[in-house]
Amino acid sequence: MTASATAGYVRLLSEAKPEIIQNDEQNQAYIARLEVLTGKKEVSAAEAKLIGLLTLLVEEYEDRAYPIPNAGPLEVVRHLMEENKLRQKDLTDVFATESIVSDVLSGKRELTKEHIRRLSARFRVSPAIFF
């Protein structure tokens, strides 16, 4: 990393003040920051380092706060649906059609990156829980 990029990273760290996440509110704030950073068309080297750090902090918190033992992506989706009292048709905003929801939940289709992005935004969870 160049001196300029290092200075940019130090500036980003001083603005973000990342620390170990202690509660859901702080977790949501970090996820919101990640969404802004990852939503950019181009990310600087400093921003990429901050994305990595914030992702680790979110993953660590969510592993600690919401452990999901040996769950695959479909189990995660089903769990989120159950916790939020949702039916398949309630996820058409994520998957576009009820038939795609059905295909994904039956294992006929895999989750796409776009599905994971939308699920993460909808349920305010890290995309990492789907992997």
Residue 49 has pLDDT above 80, yes or no: yes
Structural domain for 97, as ranges: 73-130
51 and 81 in a single domain? The answer is no
- The residue among 65, 94, 118 that closes a domain is 65
Instruction: In whole angstroms, give the CA distance from residue 116 to residue 42.
Output: 21
60 and 11 in a single domain? The answer is yes
Residue 57 has pLDDT above 70, yes or no: yes
Residues whose CB falls within 8 Å of the CB of residue 77, separated by 6 or more in sequence, listed in order: 104, 105, 111, 119, 130
% of residues, the chain, pLDDT over 70: 98
The pTM (predicted TM-score) of the whole model is: 0.53
78 and 26 in a single domain? The answer is no
Residue 22 has pLDDT above 70, yes or no: yes
101: closest CA among 91, 116, 86?
A: 91
Q: How many domains does the chain have?
A: 2
Can you tell me which residue has the tokens 């509660």? 23
26 and 57 in a single domain? The answer is yes
9 and 27 in a single domain? The answer is yes
- The residue among 43, 65, 87 that closes a domain is 65
Can you tell me which residue has the tokens 């706060």? 65
Q: Any idea what the CATH number is for the domain that residue 97 is in?
A: 1.10.260.40
- The residue among 65, 95, 119 that closes a domain is 65
124 and 83 in a single domain? The answer is yes
Residues 60-103: tens digit of each pLDDT = 999 899 876 677 899 999 999 999 999 999 999 999 999 999 99
Instruction: In whole angstroms, give the CA distance from residue 26 to residue 29.
Output: 5
Instruction: In whole angstroms, give the CA distance from residue 43 to residue 112.
Output: 22
Query: Interior CA angle at 130 toward 128 and 131, to 5°?
Result: 70
88 and 53 in a single domain? The answer is no
% of residues, the chain, pLDDT over 90: 79
39 and 82 in a single domain? The answer is no
Given this model, what pLDDT does residue 68 score?
63
61 and 39 in a single domain? The answer is yes
